[in-house]
């Protein structure tokens, strides 16, 4: 009998197949994918460039760079981004619950 995948597992699989999201969360200089939560970069050494990424929750109104990235998000990514941006404490399973990922 096949075990059903959780929403978080589906998000991680999607990221592996198609690449990480263009929206990120940051904590103490570490950059994490906004979709699957994996660490994708490190700003402590100044190595990760945030050009082309929208940072979740860094301002109430997005800056010009973030606004451009947000316009280009796929519909399911926009839903996840809006959920997390509305309540920054929502992560993981709560953020991706019920999202239909394309195959």
This prediction's pTM: 0.75
Cα–Cα distance, 71 to 64 (Å, whole number): 11
- Check residue 93 and give its pLDDT: 63
Residue of 63 and 98 predicted with greater confidence: 63
On the question of pLDDT at 95 being above 70, the answer is no
**For strand 30-33 and strand 39-42, is the pairing parallel, antiparallel, or unpaired?**
antiparallel
- List, in sequence order, every beta strand (DSSP E) within the chain: 23-27, 30-33, 39-42, 54-55
Question: pLDDT tier at 96 (50, 70, 90 boundaries)?
Answer: low
On the question of pLDDT at 15 being above 80, the answer is yes
On the question of pLDDT at 88 being above 80, the answer is no
């Amino acid at each position: 009998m096949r075990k059903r995948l959780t929403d978080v597992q589906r998000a991680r699989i999607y990221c592996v197949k198609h690449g990480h999201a263009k929206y990120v969360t940051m904590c103490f200089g570490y950059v994490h994918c906004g979709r699957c939560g994996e660490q994708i970069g490190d700003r402590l050494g100044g190595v990760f460039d945030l050009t082309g990424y929208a940072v979740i929750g860094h301002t109430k109104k997005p800056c010009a760079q973030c606004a451009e990235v947000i316009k280009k998000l796929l519909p399911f990514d926009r839903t996840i981004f809006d959920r997390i941006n509305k309540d920054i404490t929502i992560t993981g399973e709560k953020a991706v619950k019920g999202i239909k990922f394309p195959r």
